[in-house]
Amino acid sequence: MKENKQNFILFKTDTKIVRCKKPEIVYCTVIDRKIQIYIKDGNRFDIRSTIKKVMSTLNDIHFLKINSGTIVNVAFIKGVSNKEVVMDNGDILSLSRSNSKNVRNAVKAYWGYNAD
């Protein structure tokens, strides 16, 4: 299978440039003014950027902003409640009230769930 260049994203850490596949990014979150990017294989790397720039770079309908400092890949969401998002890897992330309805609707659409 041939890989498409648009399927990859490059991030610059303090010491290296990392290339990863977009579908393998589980979530990105801001910690101590750095963006931590969590990958499907369990690895994590830190970059200096803003959440807005990362969201713009990802530019994919599968990535949702769940609060002011966190972006998740809907493919790795295990569950959603009113206040949190549970990821497949077990991480529990805070869900803001302002994003709650959009995140729930996006998850329902991704899962093919039509009931309210």
Q: Average pLDDT of 30-44?
A: 93
Using pLDDT thresholds of 50, 70 and 90, give the confidence band for residue 9.
confident
**Which comes out higher in pLDDT, residue 61 or 64?**
64
pLDDT digits (tens, 9 = 90+) for 73-84: 999 999 999 899
pLDDT digits (tens, 9 = 90+) for 70-113: 999 999 999 999 899 999 999 999 999 999 999 999 999 998 87
Distance of CA 84 to the CA centre of its chain: 14
- In order, the DSSP letters of 1-18 are -PPPGGGEEEEE-SS-EE
